[in-house]
Amino acid sequence: MNKENTKTISLSVVVPVYNEAENLPELFLKLEEVLPGITPYYDVIFVNDGSSDGCEEILNGFFSDNDFVSIIHLYKNFGKTPALEQGFEIARGDIIATLDSDLQNDPADLGPMVDKLVEGYDLVSGMRQGRQDPRGKILTSRLFNGIIRKTTGLRLMDYFSGMRCYRKKVLKALNLYGDLYRFALVFAHYDGFKVVEVPISHNPRRHGDSKYSKYTRLKRGLSDLLIVLFTIKFNFRRNYLLGVWGLILTGIGITVLFLNYMIRIIGAGTGGGVVGIIVGGLLLFVGAQFLLIKKIADNFVFHHQTGKNKRKKYIKEILIHPDNKVWEE
Ligand code: UDP
Ligand code: MG
């Protein structure tokens, strides 16, 4: 039997904020209304990702008036995932939830998501129902969701929802950083955690603009795919085999071309020349592709391993009430 109970579990909600001044007051009212109904032990960490539209003052106001609010101000705009990552670094709740600050997500959906987690799951992701986004964005998203579903073996509908609930141990174990959080569902599944989706509502953006253009979205989608494929599909053994086969094939290709050439030179070849060139050339070409893919995979792995160490100091200021219910030891 599951002894855990939503009334004793602590919850940290991490909210990335970039130029959402018009959305913050309503979002805050909703959070204030919903969170006490989930657990008495909650806090909200707003990460101000270099906003220039007055969010800083609004957030500081929330902080002065409310013990359950923590704020991280970043030096400049680093992007949503680096902003979330900074929030995760200080989040103390047993459950860590993420939520967009543009009112496209509804804090009311947090309750059912936390309930699902308490049922025995490790990561609960919000599956956006009736997505309220431009058509092009929905289509691109469908395409990438489809490819990820086919290639990773984790069968979900919506891999990139901004609303998720993680058990703290999942974030610790995955040890992700930067954009890799976007794939937390896939990585968590690969590491044996129980991942599930729960339907959530989705609202159109009423104030402010989406921070991503069509072009950035497509570019990000493609690089996302490469990251997933290289990090998951190209494990050490496969990468090694790719290198070995690359060398064997290029080696045979070069030998065939060389023998073909020698046979011609000594005048022993009668008609085998063209076939030799095609076979040797093809082997050389395929082998070179293997080596090239290995090189790209190496670069990805190298980049991801060193990225964390190279991470810059993003934080300008952290505001915390150390005696709030999640923070007090
Ligand atoms: N966001 C952020 N930094 C950025 C871009 C976005 O913190 O550089 C936040 C933004 O304020 C919002 C969430 O990330 O709360 C999702 O951004 P947006 O609504 O622009 O993305 P979309 O819903 O269009 O995918
Ligand atoms: Mg949005």
CATH of the domain at 175: 3.90.550.10
Task: Report pLDDT for 221.
Answer: 77
Whole-prediction pTM: 0.82
The model's pLDDT over 25-35, given as tens digits with 9 standing for 90+, comes to 999 999 999 99
Residue 173 shares a structural domain with residue 145: yes
The model's pLDDT over 70-116, given as tens digits with 9 standing for 90+, comes to 999 999 998 898 899 899 999 999 999 999 999 999 999 999 999 99
Neighbours of ion ligand 2 (CB under 5 A): 102, 104
The model's pLDDT over 138-149, given as tens digits with 9 standing for 90+, comes to 888 888 899 889
* Dist. CA 49 → ligand 1 center (Å): 10
Q: Could you give the strand order of the β-sheet that contains 11-17, starting from the edge strand earlier in sequence?
A: 195-200, 123-128, 164-167, 95-98, 11-17, 42-48, 69-74, 315-319
Residue 86 shares a structural domain with residue 210: yes
117 neighbors 165 (Cβ within 8 angstroms): yes
Task: Report pLDDT for 147.
Answer: 87
Residue 154 shares a structural domain with residue 293: no
The model's pLDDT over 57-80, given as tens digits with 9 standing for 90+, comes to 999 999 999 999 999 999 999 889
* Ligand 1 atom, smallest distance to 205 CA: 19
Ligand 1 pocket list (CB less than 6 A): 16-18, 20, 49, 77, 79-80, 83, 100-102, 104, 162, 210-212
φ, ψ for residue 117 (rounded to 5)? Answer: -60, -45
Residue 22 shares a structural domain with residue 53: yes
Q: Looking at residues 212-224, what average pLDDT do you find?
A: 79
Token pair 């705009």 is at which residue?
77
Task: Report pLDDT for 1.
Answer: 40
Count of the separate structural domains present in the chain: 2
Is the pLDDT reported for residue 169 higher than 60? yes
* Dist. CA 212 → ligand 2 center (Å): 9
